[in-house]
Amino acid sequence: MAISPLKAMNGERAVVLIFVLRVLSSLPLALLPHALSLSLLSLFSLVVEIRVDNSPSLFKTRPGASSGIILGAVTLPTVMLSKLIQLSRAVSLQQIEIGVTWCAANNKNPHFSCGVWDAKFSLSCVILYSAVCCISLASISHSGELVVLSWFYVFQFMHRISCEGEANLVTSGLVLYFGDMLACTISKVCRLLIPPELVSIRYGIKRSEIGIVIQGVLLGLLIFSAVFKFLIHLWEYFWGANNSESRERKEIWRSLIFLTSLGFIMITVAPSWMMIVLDFDVHPVLWIFQFIFSEPFKRLSLCIYWLVLIYASVLRFYNISKDSKIERILLRKYYHLLAVLMFLPALIYQPKFLDLAFGAALAVFLVLEIIRVWRIWPLGQLVHQFMSAFTDHRDSDLIIVSHFSLLLGCALPIWMSSGFNDRPLTPFAGILSLGIGDTMQISYTSEKTIEGTAAGITSVLAACSVLLPLLASTGYFLTQHWFPIFIAVTTSGLLEAYTTQLDNAFIPLVFYSLLCL
């Protein structure tokens, strides 16, 4: 049955298309092939989403939630295109220098090689993507038999705990981030094993020390999770299964395996990778101490301030959560306000230290989630009880993602803004959209209202009017004008109102992309 365009275009899809059109309208002519690729991606992902949402037997999503395929498909590409626009502007302002990379040393036509081939490759990938989608859609029987689209296989695990749009975003982000690690490693191995006259490879950009530390820690935790699972299975197979010891002693042994493997990987394996592959000069632990004590009063005072806030708020909110009359949505908004109190002063006065603190907090969250999932003695059950007090329908029984999305929603705009200061509000995209805009849409139910949306948009605009003069006094270039800021705030506010996806993950990235323009 054909679906009319009016019925197919709901609020979420309309706002996403407005977001994409805003980015496309800002692209220079040099990025025209990328504009075509994004247009095709948006079109075909829209077709797939309409077909999936009108065939309930295809995918099982949360009650009341759409699949969110178009939002999940276009968010990261538009972020990258916005970064390219900002990069081209930084080159014109002579903030950075850019050179040609990945070109063969004996290329006889340098004007044709990299840019044209990159454009052709990008366009070919999009055409292949659309062809696979069409073939997969054509193979779906009228009886509702499930023929899984080929490009959903990548995030099969994530789909079990979230909607398709969220799974698409998370999987794409993980592939990009850890693919970057793999590319760095391959590039380093090539330089070590292959004579330099035979290959000319220059991968990536110059990373900051903080970026290297965060990347190494996350790689170490990824390796640790796989190693720990293997060691546990090995231990249970050879020793644990036939052992008659008490359950408590077995839990103690699991904890010892956990701590030993975690310490070995984070102190030995991950730092070795950082020092060999990324040319880190000193041991990361030593570097962290040197960095903190380079400005001891400011940074230690900030740590004490954070610890006091966390202790007071967590203790208070956990006691409140025991009252069944308090809505979970209100408790979660309190944490959004806590993010403003914690991160806003640090971002203005200690942005580099905040970068490192975000990485440390993410590492702690990952370790605690592993402890909770595996019920590692003695903290596993306690962490599970505490985290369960703040969950809602968007969290699964397997993984609790709300705290990760709030942390990364605030951190990613800050991490991606490093090195650029022509758009001073971009690092604040997560704090403004989640800590202020999302909080001001508060209601005693999970329903979103017109009044709440207007309050959220107005509060973010008011916060921007306060932040801009404050940032001007700290040396930022005030090149952002009010009309683009208004468009960015309004678009992200409307998306917050209409989307049924995990907004903590999407809204900061959308807001950041629009502020980059």
What was the pLDDT predicted at 104?
36
CA 463 – CA 209 distance, rounded (Å): 31
Q: What percent of the chain has pLDDT over 90?
A: 21
Indicate the DSSP class of residue 12.
H
What confidence tier does 361 reach under pLDDT thresholds 50, 70, 90?
very high
What was the pLDDT predicted at 378?
84
Amino acid letter at 334? Y
In the predicted model, is pLDDT for residue 418 greater than 70? no
Rounded average pLDDT over 412-431? 82
In the predicted model, is pLDDT for residue 140 greater than 50? no
In the predicted model, is pLDDT for residue 21 greater than 90? yes
The backbone region for 144, taken as left when phi is positive above 0, alpha when psi lies in -120 to 50, beta otherwise, is: left
Rounded average pLDDT over 243-269? 84
CB 221 within 8 A of CB 363: yes
In the predicted model, is pLDDT for residue 309 greater than 70? yes
* Residue where the block lists tokens 């398709």: 164
Each residue's pLDDT tens digit, 201-215: 444 456 788 988 998
What was the pLDDT predicted at 69?
84
What confidence tier does 499 reach under pLDDT thresholds 50, 70, 90?
confident
What confidence tier does 9 reach under pLDDT thresholds 50, 70, 90?
confident
Lowest-pLDDT choice from 59-63, 344-348, 436-440: 59-63
Angle between helices 328-349 and 351-374 (to 10 degrees): 150
For 115, counting Cβ atoms within 10 Å of its Cβ (0-12 exposed, 13-18 middle, 19+ buried), the class is: middle
433 against 335, higher pLDDT: 433
What was the pLDDT predicted at 202?
47
What was the pLDDT predicted at 209?
87
Lowest-pLDDT choice from 20-34, 138-152, 175-189, 234-248: 138-152
In the predicted model, is pLDDT for residue 306 greater than 80? yes
In the predicted model, is pLDDT for residue 95 greater than 60? no
CB 503 within 8 A of CB 435: no
Rounded average pLDDT over 280-296? 91
In the predicted model, is pLDDT for residue 157 greater than 60? no
In the predicted model, is pLDDT for residue 135 greater than 60? no
320 against 87, higher pLDDT: 87
Lowest-pLDDT choice from 65-74, 185-194, 332-341, 362-371: 185-194
Mapped to the 3 state alphabet, what secondary structure does 348-364 carry?
HHCHHHHHHHHHHHHHH
In the predicted model, is pLDDT for residue 133 greater than 80? no
Mapped to the 3 state alphabet, what secondary structure does 237-275 carry?
HHHHCCCCCCHHHHHHHHHHHHHHHHHHHHHHHHHHHHH
What confidence tier does 287 reach under pLDDT thresholds 50, 70, 90?
very high
Rounded average pLDDT over 268-280? 88
64 against 361, higher pLDDT: 361
What confidence tier does 101 reach under pLDDT thresholds 50, 70, 90?
very low
What confidence tier does 477 reach under pLDDT thresholds 50, 70, 90?
low
Rounded average pLDDT over 298-325? 80
**End-to-end Cα separation, the chain, in angstroms:** 40
What was the pLDDT predicted at 249?
79
What was the pLDDT predicted at 263?
92
- Counts for the chain of helices (H) and strands (E), in that order: 21, 0
What confidence tier does 73 reach under pLDDT thresholds 50, 70, 90?
confident
What was the pLDDT predicted at 394?
66
In the predicted model, is pLDDT for residue 254 greater than 60? yes
142 against 417, higher pLDDT: 417
Rounded average pLDDT over 444-456? 75
Amino acid letter at 230? F
The phi and psi torsions of 145 (rounded to 5 degrees) equal -65, 135
**Tokens linked to 373:** 């999932």
CA 356 – CA 362 distance, rounded (Å): 10
Tallying the residues shown for the chain, one arrives at 517
Rounded average pLDDT over 344-369? 91
- Element holding 128 (H helix, E strand): helix 113-138
What was the pLDDT predicted at 461?
92
Among candidate residues 54, 45, 35, the one with its CA nearest the CA of residue 72: 45
Amino acid letter at 85? I
Mean pLDDT computed over every residue of the chain: 76
Lowest-pLDDT choice from 56-70, 89-103, 388-402: 89-103
Rounded average pLDDT over 439-465? 79
What was the pLDDT predicted at 16?
92
In the predicted model, is pLDDT for residue 420 greater than 80? no
Indicate the DSSP class of residue 396.
-
CA distances from 280 to 109, 168, 275, 421, 475 (A): 36, 33, 4, 26, 30
Give me the half-sphere count of Cα atoms (radius 13 Å) on the Cβ side of residue 74.
Answer: 34
* Domains of the chain by residue range: 5-57+65-91+123-193, 209-295+351-385
